[in-house]
């Protein structure tokens, strides 16, 4: 690499680092920090690299863990500890997938910044997220949120306490959240993941019925509320099917179910994630410096999903297509 970082190569077929930020396109990158959640993220990344038959890049950025009892001026020891950490992660990757090409790197920049930069080179970036069990707060400012907001490509977030997809009971289902045709990239990647895993695909479309007049006033629709909800529900189901249909022929071996559910998208998708190996979401990003980089649905699911979350960035204003 350059003066701000170091890289090493393990496994077979390796040619060294990604000099100058370059290197092979289409590989898998993963952030590690030595935590148990980092181990889970590494396992997911190894599985993805092995399925795709591509190299794995292991990234560790600041803050580096300072050795216990170390005082000022111990930067060298800290860097040595960081190097030892990524070397151990590379060795673990080699145990999980013998022969896998692994590139392990320590960079002297913020971990979030390092992973965003890695996402510009990789086809998939993997991070861990502590997450929360309920809906009573968010871990603002976490590395996973920052990377999700700025990653240049798909990001796989391994949730703490969710049970990583590479460990434990396989459920054989990939879930994708569908709002409109603007989510086509996420749907395409969900089909690809389902096919690679030999899993079924469940497309979930959540919608909320809104009264069109103040409480106590008649509803604008002429029919009773139940009839009106039925009419809107059928239209919502048609919309969801329209988004999914183009991919059925491309992936004839994937069993597909489309669910249209009344309820808020975060709650509906959290429930769906309980029986999934993977949840795929489109992240619609606004344009401009002051635009929202991460919508409320993706923000909530990174914290509360019960399985790994694959975030697919979609440039533009987001929301339902005009």
Answering whether pTM is above 0.95, one says: no
Q: How many Cβ atoms are within 10 Å of 234's Cβ, its own excluded? A: 11
CA distances from 88 to 39, 94, 108 (A): 11, 10, 19
pLDDT of 136 reads: 35
What pLDDT score was predicted for residue 157? Answer: 92
The Cα–Cα gap between 132 and 305 comes to: 9
Look up the CATH architecture of domain 173-315. 3-Layer(aba) Sandwich (3.40)
Q: Are 255 and 192 in contact (CB under 8 A)?
A: no
> Helix axis angle, 36-52 relative to 75-96, nearest 10°?
50
Rounded CA-CA distance 286/273 in Å is: 26
- The highest-level CATH class for domain 5-159 is alpha beta
The 10 Å CB-count burial string (b at 16+, else e) for 194-220 is bbebebbbbbbbbbeeeeeeeeeeeee
Other residues' Cβ atoms within 10 Å of the Cβ of residue 155: 28
Check residue 46 and give its pLDDT: 96
Count of alpha carbons within 13 Å of 197, Cβ hemisphere only? 24
Q: Are 222 and 277 in contact (CB under 8 A)?
A: no
Predicted local confidence at residue 250, as pLDDT: 94
Contacts of 40 (CB under 8 A, 6+ apart): 128, 158, 160, 164, 166, 167
Q: Which residues contact 130 (CB under 8 A, 6 or more apart)?
A: 37, 139, 142, 160
Terminal C-alpha separation, the chain: 45
Residue ranges of domains in the chain: 5-159, 173-315
pLDDT at 170 (0 to 100): 78
Q: Exposed (0-12), middle (13-18) or buried (19+): which is 232, by Cβ within 10 Å?
A: middle
Residue 80's Cβ-side half-sphere holds a number of Cα atoms within 13 Å equal to: 6
Q: What is the pLDDT along the chain (322 residues), one digit of tens a residue?
A: 333 344 455 543 333 344 344 444 689 999 998 888 888 999 999 999 999 999 999 998 877 654 444 444 434 357 888 888 899 999 999 999 999 999 998 888 888 889 999 999 999 999 987 644 433 333 334 777 888 888 999 999 997 654 433 444 578 999 999 988 889 999 999 999 999 999 999 999 998 876 554 455 444 444 556 666 677 778 888 889 999 999 999 999 999 999 999 888 999 999 999 999 999 999 887 554 433 467 788 888 988 899 999 999 987 644 443 2
Assess whether the region 5-159 and the region 173-315 belong to the same CATH fold. Answer: yes
């Amino acid at each position: 690499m350059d003066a701000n970082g170091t890289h090493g190569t393990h496994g077979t077929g390796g040619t060294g680092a990604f000099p100058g930020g370059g290197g092979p396109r289409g590989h898998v990158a993963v952030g590690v920090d030595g935590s148990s959640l980092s181990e889970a993220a590494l396992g997911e990344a190894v599985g993805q690299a092995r399925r795709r038959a591509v190299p794995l890049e292991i990234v560790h950025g600041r803050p580096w863990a300072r050795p216990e009892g170390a005082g000022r001026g111990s930067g060298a020891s800290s860097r040595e500890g960081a190097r030892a950490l990524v070397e151990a992660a590379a060795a673990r990757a080699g145990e999980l997938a013998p022969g896998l090409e692994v590139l392990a790197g320590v960079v002297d920049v913020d971990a979030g910044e390092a992973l965003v930069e890695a996402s510009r080179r990789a086809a998939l970036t993997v991070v861990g997220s502590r997450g929360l069990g309920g809906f009573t707060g968010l871990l603002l400012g976490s590395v996973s949120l920052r990377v999700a907001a700025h990653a240049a490509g798909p990001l796989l977030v391994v949730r703490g306490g969710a049970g990583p997809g590479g460990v434990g009971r396989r459920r054989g289902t990939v879930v994708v959240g569908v709002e409109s045709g603007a989510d086509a990239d996420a749907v395409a990647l969900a089909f690809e993941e389902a096919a690679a895993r030999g899993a079924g695909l469940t497309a979930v479309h959540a919608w909320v019925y809104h009264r069109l007049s103040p409480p106590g006033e008649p509803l604008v629709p002429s029919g009773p509320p139940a009839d009106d909800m039925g009419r809107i529900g059928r239209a919502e189901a048609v919309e969801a099917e329209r988004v999914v249909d183009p991919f059925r022929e491309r992936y004839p071996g994937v069993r597909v179910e489309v669910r249209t559910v009344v309820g808020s998208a975060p709650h509906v998708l959290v429930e769906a994630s309980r029986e999934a190996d993977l949840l795929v979401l489109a992240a619609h990003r606004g344009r401009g410096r002051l635009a929202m980089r991460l919508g409320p649905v993706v923000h909530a699911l990174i914290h509360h999903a019960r399985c790994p979350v694959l975030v697919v960035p979609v440039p533009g204003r987001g929301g339902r297509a005009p």
